[in-house]
Protein backbone atom coordinates (compact mmCIF):
# COMPACT_ATOMS: atom_id res chain seq x y z
CA UNK A 1 0.00 0.00 0.00
CA UNK A 2 2.78 2.41 1.04
CA UNK A 3 4.67 1.64 -2.16
CA UNK A 4 1.72 2.19 -4.46
CA UNK A 5 0.91 5.48 -2.73
CA UNK A 6 4.43 6.70 -3.35
CA UNK A 7 4.15 5.64 -6.99
CA UNK A 8 0.94 7.54 -7.29
CA UNK A 9 2.54 10.68 -5.89
CA UNK A 10 5.54 10.43 -8.22
CA UNK A 11 3.22 9.92 -11.16
CA UNK A 12 1.09 12.94 -10.23
CA UNK A 13 4.22 15.07 -9.94
CA UNK A 14 5.40 13.88 -13.34
CA UNK A 15 2.10 14.79 -14.96
CA UNK A 16 2.19 18.18 -13.27
CA UNK A 17 5.71 18.88 -14.56
CA UNK A 18 4.63 17.79 -18.07
CA UNK A 19 1.59 20.04 -18.03
CA UNK A 20 3.69 22.96 -16.88
CA UNK A 21 6.33 22.52 -19.57
CA UNK A 22 3.72 22.15 -22.31
CA UNK A 23 2.21 25.35 -21.02
CA UNK A 24 5.60 27.07 -21.17
CA UNK A 25 6.01 26.12 -24.81
CA UNK A 26 2.43 27.15 -25.59
CA UNK A 27 2.91 30.52 -23.99
CA UNK A 28 5.65 31.58 -26.40
CA UNK A 29 3.99 29.88 -29.39
CA UNK A 30 0.72 31.63 -28.93
CA UNK A 31 2.25 35.05 -28.39
CA UNK A 32 4.51 34.51 -31.37
CA UNK A 33 1.80 33.27 -33.74
CA UNK A 34 -0.23 36.39 -33.01
CA UNK A 35 2.79 38.41 -34.11
CA UNK A 36 4.38 36.27 -36.80
CA UNK A 37 2.12 37.25 -39.71
CA UNK A 38 3.61 40.70 -39.62
CA UNK A 39 7.14 39.71 -38.67
CA UNK A 40 9.82 41.43 -40.74
CA UNK A 41 7.53 44.05 -42.23
CA UNK A 42 8.40 46.69 -39.68
CA UNK A 43 11.96 47.63 -40.58
CA UNK A 44 12.37 50.36 -43.22
CA UNK A 45 14.45 49.86 -46.35
CA UNK A 46 16.55 53.01 -45.98
CA UNK A 47 17.29 53.86 -42.34
CA UNK A 48 19.30 56.92 -43.41
CA UNK A 49 16.07 58.52 -44.57
CA UNK A 50 14.49 58.16 -41.14
CA UNK A 51 17.66 59.51 -39.49
CA UNK A 52 17.53 62.53 -41.80
CA UNK A 53 13.89 63.16 -40.84
CA UNK A 54 14.84 63.24 -37.16
CA UNK A 55 17.62 65.68 -37.95
CA UNK A 56 15.18 67.87 -39.85
CA UNK A 57 12.54 67.92 -37.11
CA UNK A 58 15.20 68.88 -34.55
CA UNK A 59 16.42 71.63 -36.85
CA UNK A 60 12.87 72.89 -37.40
CA UNK A 61 12.26 73.00 -33.68
CA UNK A 62 15.52 74.71 -32.77
CA UNK A 63 14.89 77.26 -35.54
CA UNK A 64 11.43 78.00 -34.16
CA UNK A 65 13.00 78.51 -30.77
CA UNK A 66 15.58 80.92 -32.14
CA UNK A 67 12.84 82.84 -33.92
CA UNK A 68 10.93 83.01 -30.64
CA UNK A 69 7.71 81.58 -32.11
CA UNK A 70 6.21 80.66 -28.75
CA UNK A 71 7.74 81.26 -25.35
CA UNK A 72 7.28 77.58 -24.53
CA UNK A 73 9.19 76.16 -27.51
CA UNK A 74 12.25 74.31 -26.22
CA UNK A 75 13.93 73.06 -29.38
CA UNK A 76 12.90 69.49 -28.53
CA UNK A 77 10.58 68.52 -31.40
CA UNK A 78 8.69 65.84 -29.46
CA UNK A 79 7.93 68.14 -26.54
CA UNK A 80 7.22 71.13 -28.74
CA UNK A 81 4.54 69.01 -30.45
CA UNK A 82 2.38 68.89 -27.27
CA UNK A 83 3.86 70.59 -24.21
CA UNK A 84 2.78 74.13 -25.09
CA UNK A 85 -0.83 73.10 -24.54
CA UNK A 86 -2.08 73.94 -21.01
CA UNK A 87 -5.13 71.79 -21.76
CA UNK A 88 -2.98 68.73 -22.42
CA UNK A 89 -5.23 66.69 -20.15
CA UNK A 90 -8.12 67.06 -22.60
CA UNK A 91 -5.90 66.23 -25.54
CA UNK A 92 -3.80 63.38 -24.22
CA UNK A 93 -3.95 61.33 -27.39
CA UNK A 94 -2.20 64.05 -29.40
CA UNK A 95 1.00 62.67 -27.93
CA UNK A 96 0.66 59.66 -30.23
CA UNK A 97 1.32 61.90 -33.24
CA UNK A 98 4.47 63.46 -31.76
CA UNK A 99 6.89 60.56 -32.19
CA UNK A 100 10.08 60.78 -34.23
CA UNK A 101 12.56 58.25 -35.58
CA UNK A 102 12.05 54.55 -36.11
CA UNK A 103 9.27 54.27 -33.52
CA UNK A 104 7.35 57.26 -34.88
CA UNK A 105 4.45 55.17 -36.22
CA UNK A 106 3.67 53.59 -32.85
CA UNK A 107 0.10 54.69 -32.21
CA UNK A 108 -0.31 52.96 -28.86
CA UNK A 109 -3.94 53.11 -27.72
CA UNK A 110 -4.74 56.25 -29.71
CA UNK A 111 -7.75 54.71 -31.40
CA UNK A 112 -9.24 53.18 -28.28
CA UNK A 113 -11.01 54.15 -25.07
CA UNK A 114 -9.41 55.58 -21.94
CA UNK A 115 -8.75 53.19 -19.06
CA UNK A 116 -8.24 54.69 -15.61
CA UNK A 117 -6.02 52.72 -13.24
CA UNK A 118 -7.20 53.35 -9.68
CA UNK A 119 -5.77 50.31 -7.89
CA UNK A 120 -2.00 49.93 -7.41
CA UNK A 121 -2.38 46.25 -6.45
CA UNK A 122 -1.21 43.16 -8.28
CA UNK A 123 -2.73 40.42 -6.17
CA UNK A 124 -3.30 37.84 -8.86
CA UNK A 125 -1.25 37.87 -12.09
CA UNK A 126 -3.59 35.26 -13.61
CA UNK A 127 -6.91 36.95 -12.76
CA UNK A 128 -6.08 40.64 -12.36
CA UNK A 129 -8.79 42.85 -10.88
CA UNK A 130 -10.41 45.57 -12.98
CA UNK A 131 -8.80 48.90 -12.13
CA UNK A 132 -5.26 47.49 -11.92
CA UNK A 133 -2.52 48.23 -14.43
CA UNK A 134 -2.25 44.52 -15.27
CA UNK A 135 -5.95 44.30 -16.08
CA UNK A 136 -5.52 47.29 -18.42
CA UNK A 137 -2.45 46.15 -20.38
CA UNK A 138 -3.63 42.62 -21.17
CA UNK A 139 -6.84 43.67 -22.95
CA UNK A 140 -7.25 42.86 -26.64
CA UNK A 141 -8.65 46.22 -27.74
CA UNK A 142 -6.63 49.47 -27.99
CA UNK A 143 -6.53 51.39 -24.70
CA UNK A 144 -5.08 54.71 -23.55
CA UNK A 145 -4.19 53.96 -19.94
CA UNK A 146 -4.04 56.79 -17.37
CA UNK A 147 -3.81 56.94 -13.56
CA UNK A 148 -6.35 58.30 -11.09
CA UNK A 149 -3.72 59.31 -8.50
CA UNK A 150 -0.09 58.95 -7.49
CA UNK A 151 0.87 55.33 -6.82
CA UNK A 152 3.67 52.83 -6.35
CA UNK A 153 2.97 49.59 -8.19
CA UNK A 154 4.95 46.59 -7.03
CA UNK A 155 4.35 43.86 -9.57
CA UNK A 156 4.43 40.22 -8.47
CA UNK A 157 5.26 39.04 -12.00
CA UNK A 158 6.25 40.62 -15.33
CA UNK A 159 3.66 43.00 -16.73
CA UNK A 160 3.02 41.36 -20.10
CA UNK A 161 1.60 43.96 -22.44
CA UNK A 162 -0.81 43.36 -25.29
CA UNK A 163 -0.70 45.36 -28.58
CA UNK A 164 -2.07 48.90 -29.06
CA UNK A 165 -1.61 50.24 -25.54
CA UNK A 166 -0.39 53.59 -24.24
CA UNK A 167 0.65 53.86 -20.62
CA UNK A 168 0.37 57.60 -19.98
CA UNK A 169 1.34 58.61 -16.44
CA UNK A 170 1.11 62.37 -17.02
CA UNK A 171 -0.69 64.05 -14.14
CA UNK A 172 0.32 61.47 -11.53
CA UNK A 173 3.56 60.25 -10.03
CA UNK A 174 3.57 56.56 -10.89
CA UNK A 175 6.36 54.24 -9.81
CA UNK A 176 6.77 50.68 -11.04
CA UNK A 177 9.22 49.55 -8.41
CA UNK A 178 10.62 46.85 -6.15
CA UNK A 179 9.15 43.94 -8.09
CA UNK A 180 8.78 42.72 -11.64
CA UNK A 181 8.67 45.29 -14.44
CA UNK A 182 7.48 45.63 -18.05
CA UNK A 183 7.61 43.03 -20.85
CA UNK A 184 6.71 43.94 -24.45
CA UNK A 185 6.84 40.58 -26.20
CA UNK A 186 5.64 39.67 -29.73
CA UNK A 187 3.32 42.69 -29.84
CA UNK A 188 3.19 45.99 -31.71
CA UNK A 189 2.22 49.59 -31.08
CA UNK A 190 3.13 50.33 -27.51
CA UNK A 191 3.81 53.79 -26.05
CA UNK A 192 5.16 54.16 -22.53
CA UNK A 193 5.27 57.70 -21.19
CA UNK A 194 5.97 59.27 -17.84
CA UNK A 195 6.74 56.34 -15.54
CA UNK A 196 9.34 56.00 -12.81
CA UNK A 197 10.75 52.50 -13.25
CA UNK A 198 13.27 51.35 -10.67
CA UNK A 199 14.56 48.54 -8.48
CA UNK A 200 13.16 45.89 -10.84
CA UNK A 201 13.80 42.36 -9.73
CA UNK A 202 14.04 38.97 -11.31
CA UNK A 203 10.74 37.09 -11.02
CA UNK A 204 9.12 34.10 -12.68
CA UNK A 205 8.38 30.40 -12.47
CA UNK A 206 4.76 31.35 -12.24
CA UNK A 207 1.58 31.63 -14.26
CA UNK A 208 0.95 35.07 -15.78
CA UNK A 209 -1.90 36.30 -17.95
CA UNK A 210 -1.00 37.96 -21.27
CA UNK A 211 -4.51 38.48 -22.72
CA UNK A 212 -8.13 37.93 -21.62
CA UNK A 213 -8.08 34.52 -23.32
CA UNK A 214 -4.65 33.30 -22.35
CA UNK A 215 -2.26 32.79 -19.48
CA UNK A 216 0.86 30.70 -19.37
CA UNK A 217 3.91 29.63 -17.46
CA UNK A 218 6.72 32.18 -17.34
CA UNK A 219 10.22 31.01 -16.62
CA UNK A 220 12.56 33.30 -14.67
CA UNK A 221 12.87 36.80 -16.15
CA UNK A 222 16.12 38.76 -15.99
CA UNK A 223 14.72 41.74 -14.13
CA UNK A 224 14.86 44.35 -16.89
CA UNK A 225 13.10 47.69 -16.46
CA UNK A 226 11.56 47.35 -19.92
CA UNK A 227 12.15 44.17 -21.91
CA UNK A 228 11.31 44.39 -25.63
CA UNK A 229 11.28 40.91 -27.18
CA UNK A 230 10.30 40.28 -30.82
CA UNK A 231 8.23 43.46 -30.76
CA UNK A 232 7.87 46.47 -33.04
CA UNK A 233 6.52 50.02 -33.15
CA UNK A 234 7.52 50.81 -29.61
CA UNK A 235 8.05 54.33 -28.24
CA UNK A 236 9.51 54.84 -24.76
CA UNK A 237 9.36 58.56 -23.85
CA UNK A 238 9.99 60.68 -20.73
CA UNK A 239 10.55 57.90 -18.20
CA UNK A 240 12.97 57.87 -15.27
CA UNK A 241 14.78 54.55 -15.00
CA UNK A 242 17.30 53.32 -12.44
CA UNK A 243 18.78 50.42 -10.55
CA UNK A 244 17.34 47.19 -12.00
CA UNK A 245 18.55 43.59 -11.75
CA UNK A 246 19.33 43.42 -15.48
CA UNK A 247 19.10 46.12 -18.21
CA UNK A 248 17.07 49.32 -17.83
CA UNK A 249 15.81 48.83 -21.39
CA UNK A 250 16.72 45.74 -23.44
CA UNK A 251 15.47 45.07 -26.97
CA UNK A 252 16.19 41.65 -28.47
CA UNK A 253 14.93 38.86 -30.77
CA UNK A 254 14.26 40.83 -33.94
CA UNK A 255 12.63 43.81 -32.26
CA UNK A 256 12.52 46.88 -34.49
CA UNK A 257 10.84 50.25 -35.18
CA UNK A 258 11.77 51.56 -31.73
CA UNK A 259 12.30 55.07 -30.38
CA UNK A 260 13.77 55.67 -26.93
CA UNK A 261 13.52 59.40 -26.19
CA UNK A 262 13.59 61.95 -23.38
CA UNK A 263 14.38 59.38 -20.70
CA UNK A 264 16.57 59.94 -17.67
CA UNK A 265 18.80 56.99 -16.81
CA UNK A 266 20.72 56.83 -13.52
CA UNK A 267 22.41 54.42 -11.08
CA UNK A 268 22.88 51.35 -13.18
CA UNK A 269 25.61 49.19 -14.68
CA UNK A 270 24.43 47.69 -17.99
CA UNK A 271 22.00 50.35 -19.17
CA UNK A 272 20.72 49.25 -22.58
CA UNK A 273 21.26 46.05 -24.55
CA UNK A 274 20.09 46.08 -28.17
CA UNK A 275 20.55 42.56 -29.56
CA UNK A 276 21.45 39.65 -27.30
CA UNK A 277 23.71 37.43 -29.40
CA UNK A 278 26.26 37.81 -32.20
CA UNK A 279 24.82 34.71 -33.88
CA UNK A 280 21.20 35.92 -33.93
CA UNK A 281 21.26 37.47 -37.39
CA UNK A 282 17.55 38.30 -37.42
CA UNK A 283 18.62 41.37 -35.44
CA UNK A 284 19.95 42.83 -38.69
CA UNK A 285 16.45 44.28 -39.03
CA UNK A 286 16.74 46.04 -35.67
CA UNK A 287 16.33 49.82 -36.12
CA UNK A 288 16.39 52.02 -33.05
CA UNK A 289 16.39 55.79 -32.50
CA UNK A 290 17.90 56.98 -29.21
CA UNK A 291 17.24 60.70 -28.89
CA UNK A 292 17.20 63.50 -26.29
CA UNK A 293 17.94 61.20 -23.35
CA UNK A 294 20.07 62.09 -20.35
CA UNK A 295 22.52 59.36 -19.39
CA UNK A 296 23.29 60.57 -15.89
CA UNK A 297 24.65 59.86 -12.48
CA UNK A 298 25.91 56.44 -11.49
CA UNK A 299 25.95 54.80 -14.93
CA UNK A 300 28.75 52.47 -15.97
CA UNK A 301 28.36 51.10 -19.53
CA UNK A 302 26.07 50.08 -22.46
CA UNK A 303 24.36 53.33 -23.47
CA UNK A 304 23.65 51.34 -25.59
CA UNK A 305 25.50 48.11 -26.43
CA UNK A 306 24.41 47.16 -29.98
CA UNK A 307 24.45 44.18 -32.34
CA UNK A 308 23.73 43.82 -36.08
CA UNK A 309 21.15 46.58 -36.71
CA UNK A 310 21.04 50.33 -37.35
CA UNK A 311 21.26 52.65 -34.33
CA UNK A 312 20.70 56.39 -34.56
CA UNK A 313 22.02 58.00 -31.39
CA UNK A 314 21.16 61.68 -31.58
CA UNK A 315 21.21 64.75 -29.29
CA UNK A 316 21.65 62.82 -26.05
CA UNK A 317 23.47 64.20 -23.03
CA UNK A 318 26.08 61.80 -21.62
CA UNK A 319 27.24 63.21 -18.31
CA UNK A 320 28.39 60.02 -16.58
CA UNK A 321 29.97 56.73 -17.57
CA UNK A 322 32.59 54.64 -15.85
CA UNK A 323 33.64 52.23 -18.62
CA UNK A 324 32.28 53.41 -21.97
CA UNK A 325 29.15 54.98 -23.48
CA UNK A 326 28.38 53.32 -26.83
CA UNK A 327 29.54 49.80 -27.61
CA UNK A 328 28.76 46.79 -29.70
CA UNK A 329 29.70 43.71 -31.65
CA UNK A 330 28.61 41.84 -34.78
CA UNK A 331 28.82 44.74 -37.25
CA UNK A 332 26.18 47.18 -36.03
CA UNK A 333 25.81 50.53 -37.80
CA UNK A 334 26.12 53.39 -35.32
CA UNK A 335 25.17 56.89 -36.40
CA UNK A 336 26.06 59.26 -33.57
CA UNK A 337 24.96 62.84 -34.13
CA UNK A 338 24.95 65.98 -32.04
CA UNK A 339 25.44 64.26 -28.69
CA UNK A 340 27.33 65.76 -25.76
CA UNK A 341 29.86 63.35 -24.29
CA UNK A 342 31.48 64.38 -21.02
CA UNK A 343 34.26 61.89 -20.23
CA UNK A 344 34.94 60.81 -16.65
CA UNK A 345 38.13 61.83 -14.83
CA UNK A 346 39.63 58.32 -15.22
CA UNK A 347 42.27 58.61 -17.95
CA UNK A 348 41.52 55.05 -19.08
CA UNK A 349 37.80 55.64 -19.66
CA UNK A 350 37.89 58.61 -22.02
CA UNK A 351 36.83 56.61 -25.07
CA UNK A 352 33.13 56.96 -25.86
CA UNK A 353 33.13 53.78 -27.94
CA UNK A 354 33.97 50.14 -27.33
CA UNK A 355 34.15 47.23 -29.76
CA UNK A 356 33.39 44.23 -27.62
CA UNK A 357 35.58 41.15 -28.07
CA UNK A 358 36.54 41.81 -31.70
CA UNK A 359 39.89 42.19 -33.46
CA UNK A 360 40.63 45.59 -35.03
CA UNK A 361 41.04 43.92 -38.43
CA UNK A 362 37.38 42.94 -38.23
CA UNK A 363 35.78 46.02 -36.68
CA UNK A 364 37.54 48.51 -38.90
CA UNK A 365 34.84 47.68 -41.48
CA UNK A 366 31.95 48.43 -39.13
CA UNK A 367 30.18 51.69 -39.95
CA UNK A 368 30.51 53.77 -36.78
CA UNK A 369 30.35 57.48 -37.35
CA UNK A 370 30.17 60.66 -35.34
CA UNK A 371 28.81 63.92 -36.70
CA UNK A 372 28.68 67.15 -34.75
CA UNK A 373 29.20 65.40 -31.39
CA UNK A 374 30.52 67.60 -28.62
CA UNK A 375 33.43 65.78 -26.96
CA UNK A 376 34.38 67.17 -23.55
CA UNK A 377 37.02 66.46 -20.91
CA UNK A 378 39.15 64.38 -23.28
CA UNK A 379 36.30 62.21 -24.60
CA UNK A 380 37.04 60.61 -27.98
CA UNK A 381 34.95 58.61 -30.43
CA UNK A 382 36.76 55.97 -32.50
CA UNK A 383 35.36 56.01 -36.04
CA UNK A 384 35.36 53.02 -38.35
CA UNK A 385 34.10 51.78 -41.71
CA UNK A 386 32.38 54.29 -43.97
CA UNK A 387 32.14 56.61 -40.96
CA UNK A 388 35.91 57.01 -40.96
CA UNK A 389 36.17 57.74 -44.69
CA UNK A 390 37.14 61.27 -45.75
CA UNK A 391 34.36 61.43 -48.37
CA UNK A 392 31.81 60.78 -45.65
CA UNK A 393 33.20 63.46 -43.34
CA UNK A 394 32.87 66.03 -46.14
CA UNK A 395 29.28 65.12 -46.97
CA UNK A 396 28.18 65.17 -43.35
CA UNK A 397 29.61 68.56 -42.44
CA UNK A 398 26.61 70.17 -44.17
CA UNK A 399 23.98 69.50 -41.52
CA UNK A 400 23.74 71.51 -38.31
CA UNK A 401 23.63 68.96 -35.52
CA UNK A 402 22.59 71.14 -32.62
CA UNK A 403 24.98 69.69 -30.07
CA UNK A 404 25.13 73.19 -28.57
CA UNK A 405 21.41 72.80 -27.83
CA UNK A 406 21.68 69.42 -26.09
CA UNK A 407 21.61 70.92 -22.60
CA UNK A 408 18.32 72.69 -23.30
CA UNK A 409 16.79 69.84 -25.33
CA UNK A 410 17.41 67.28 -22.57
CA UNK A 411 16.89 69.49 -19.51
CA UNK A 412 13.48 67.93 -18.84
CA UNK A 413 14.47 64.33 -19.53
CA UNK A 414 12.71 61.78 -17.36
CA UNK A 415 9.16 61.71 -16.01
CA UNK A 416 7.61 65.18 -16.11
CA UNK A 417 5.63 66.78 -13.30
CA UNK A 418 2.31 67.65 -14.92
CA UNK A 419 -0.70 69.13 -13.23
CA UNK A 420 -4.06 69.83 -14.81
CA UNK A 421 -4.73 73.24 -16.32
CA UNK A 422 -1.04 74.03 -16.59
CA UNK A 423 1.64 73.25 -19.09
CA UNK A 424 3.56 70.07 -18.32
C1 LIG B 1 10.32 71.12 -41.19
O2 LIG B 1 9.70 72.32 -41.56
C3 LIG B 1 9.33 72.41 -42.94
C4 LIG B 1 8.86 73.81 -43.22
O5 LIG B 1 7.87 74.20 -42.30
C6 LIG B 1 8.29 71.34 -43.24
O7 LIG B 1 7.92 71.37 -44.60
C8 LIG B 1 8.87 69.97 -42.91
O9 LIG B 1 7.90 68.97 -43.08
C10 LIG B 1 9.37 69.94 -41.47
N11 LIG B 1 10.06 68.67 -41.27
C12 LIG B 1 9.82 67.83 -40.27
C13 LIG B 1 10.53 66.54 -40.29
O14 LIG B 1 9.04 68.10 -39.38
Q: What is the pLDDT of residues 86-119, one digit of tens each?
A: 999 999 999 999 999 999 999 999 999 999 999 9
Cα 268 to ligand 1 centre (Å)? 37
Q: How far is residue 105's CA from residue 185's CA, in Å, rounded to a whole number?
A: 18
Active site residues per annotation: 302
Whether ligand 1 lies within 6 angstroms of the CB of 60 is answered as yes
> For residue 56, how far is its CA from the centre of ligand 1 (angstroms)?
7
By C-alpha distance, which of 225, 282, 269, 281 is closest to 32?
A: 282
Atom 11, ligand 1: residue with shortest CA distance = 57
Which positions ≥6 away from 334 have C-beta within 8 Å? 306, 311, 313, 326, 328, 353, 366, 367, 368, 369, 387
Q: Where residue 23 falls among pLDDT bands split at 50, 70, 90? A: very low
The answer to whether the beta carbons of residues 211 and 254 sit under 8 Å apart is no
Ligand 1 atom nearest residue 100's Cα = 13
Find residue 117's DSSP bridge partners. 147
Q: How confident is the model at residue 72 (pLDDT cuts 50, 70, 90)?
A: confident
Query: What distance in angstroms lies between residue 100's CA and the mean position of ligand 1's atoms?
Result: 12
- 56 within ligand 1 shell (Cβ under 6 A): yes
What spatial distance separates the first Cα and last Cα of the chain, rounded to whole Å? 73
Atom 14, ligand 1: residue with shortest CA distance? 57
Check whether 1 has a pLDDT greater than 50.
no
Give, for ligand 1, the residue of 57, 62, 99 to mutate: max count of ligand atoms closer than 8 Å to Cβ: 57
Report which DSSP code applies to 384: B
Residue nearest to ligand 1 atom 5, measured at CA: 60
pLDDT of residue 64: 86
Binned at pLDDT 50, 70 and 90, residue 62 comes out as confident
202: phi > 0 → left, psi -120 to 50 → alpha, else beta; which?
A: beta
Q: What is the pLDDT of residue 241?
A: 98
CB atoms within 10 A of CB 262: 26
Atom of ligand 1 nearest to the CA of 60: 1
Q: What is the pLDDT of residue 180?
A: 98
Residue nearest to atom 7 of ligand 1 (CA): 60
Q: What is the structure's pLDDT at 10? A: 43
- Is residue 57 in contact with ligand 1, taking CB distance under 6 Å? yes
Residue 208 C-alpha to ligand 1 middle, in angstroms? 45
Residue with the nearest Cα to atom 4 of ligand 1?
A: 60
In this model, does residue 338 exceed pLDDT 60? yes
Q: How far is the centre of ligand 1, averaged over its atoms, from the C-alpha of 58 (Å)?
A: 10
**Domain limits of the chain?**
35-409
- Which class does domain 35-409 fall in? mainly beta
Average model confidence (pLDDT) across the chain: 90
11 pLDDT higher than 60 = no
Ligand 1 center–CA 50 separation, angstroms = 13
Radius of gyration of the chain (CA): 22
> Is the torsion defined by CA of 259, 261, 264, 265 positive or negative?
positive
- Asked whether residue 395 carries a pLDDT value surpassing 60, the answer given is no
Q: Are 299 and 267 in contact (CB under 8 A)?
A: yes
What proportions of the chain, in percent to the nearest 5, are helix, strand and coil?
A: 25, 30, 45
Amino acid sequence: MAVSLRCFCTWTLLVLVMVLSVNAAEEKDELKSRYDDEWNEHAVEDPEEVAAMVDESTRNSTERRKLGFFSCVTGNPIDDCWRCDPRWRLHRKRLANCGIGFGRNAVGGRDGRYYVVNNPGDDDPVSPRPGTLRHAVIQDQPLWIVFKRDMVITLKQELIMNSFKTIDARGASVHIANGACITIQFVTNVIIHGLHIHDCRSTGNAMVRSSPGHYGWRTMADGDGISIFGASHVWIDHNSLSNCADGLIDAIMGSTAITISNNHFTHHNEVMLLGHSDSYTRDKQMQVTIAYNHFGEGLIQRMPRCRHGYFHVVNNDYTHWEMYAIGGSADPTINSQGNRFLAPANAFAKEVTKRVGTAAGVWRHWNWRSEGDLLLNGAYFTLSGAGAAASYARASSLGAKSSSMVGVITSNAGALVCRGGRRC
